[in-house]
Amino acid sequence: MVKDWQELTRITNGVAFAVERVKLPDDEITIEGSFELVEMESRLA
């Protein structure tokens, strides 16, 4: 199930979190590691 970043922000309630896996299904690529995300809302404003 794919969710957008706004849904992720809502369910984490603004608390910092790390992403440990990224999947690009169209290219059949998976990246694993621990990634901290920047504040997406402020970057997109």
The CB-based long-range contact list for 34-38 (8 Å cut-off, 24+ gap) reads: none
Domain locations in the chain as residue ranges: 5-44
Best CA proximity match to 6, nearest among 45, 38, 43, 41: 41
pLDDT of residue 29: 94
pLDDT, position 40: 53
pLDDT tens digits for 9-38?
788 887 878 889 989 989 999 999 988 776
The answer to whether the pTM exceeds 0.75 is no
